[in-house]
Amino acid sequence: MPEKTLPPLKTVTHFTMTTLVDNYTDVLLEDGRFVKRCSRIGKDGKRRAPLLAEHGLSLLLEIEDDLEKHVVMMDFGLSNIAVMHNLSALETGLDNVETFIISHGHHDHIGSLKEVLTAIPSPREVIVHPDAFIEERILLMDDGTQIPIPSLKRDTLEPLGCPVVEIRSPHRLANGYMLTITNIPRVTDFEKGIPNAYYKKGNELYKDDILDDQGIVVHVNGKGLVIVTGCGHSGIINTVLYAQQITGVKKIFAVIGGFHLGGSFFEPIIKPTIEEMKKFAPAVLVPTHCTGWKAMVAFENAFPDAFILNSVGTKIVI
User: Where does the pLDDT of residue 197 fall: very low under 50, low under 70, confident under 90, or very high at 90 and above?
Assistant: very high
pLDDT at 107 over 50: yes
204 contact partners, CB below 8 Å, separation of at least 6: none
Phi, psi for 291 (deg, rounded to 5): -65, -35
**236-247 vs 270-280: helix crossing angle, rounded to 10:** 30
CB atoms within 10 A of CB 139: 15
The answer to whether position 4 is within a domain reads no
Least confident of 95-109, 145-159, 213-227, 282-296: 145-159
pLDDT at 259 over 60: yes
pLDDT digits (tens, 9 = 90+) for 12-63: 999 999 999 999 999 999 999 999 999 999 888 889 999 999 999 999 999 9
The answer to whether position 213 is within a domain reads yes
Q: How far apart are CA 158 and CA 154, in angstroms?
A: 6
User: Where does the pLDDT of residue 4 fall: very low under 50, low under 70, confident under 90, or very high at 90 and above?
Assistant: low
The answer to whether position 3 is within a domain reads no
Residue 1: the pLDDT is 43
The answer to whether position 2 is within a domain reads no
The answer to whether position 107 is within a domain reads yes
CATH number at residue 141: 3.60.15.10
The whole domain housing 202 covers 11-317
Does an H or E element contain 100, and which? strand 97-101
Residue 157: the pLDDT is 92
What is the number of residues in the chain? 318
Full-model pTM: 0.95
Residue 202: the pLDDT is 86
Q: How many domains would you assign to the chain?
A: 1
69 contact partners, CB below 8 Å, separation of at least 6: 62, 63
The answer to whether position 275 is within a domain reads yes
Average pLDDT score, the chain: 95
**284 to 125, 144, 216, 270: CA distances (angstroms):** 30, 41, 16, 18
The answer to whether position 5 is within a domain reads no
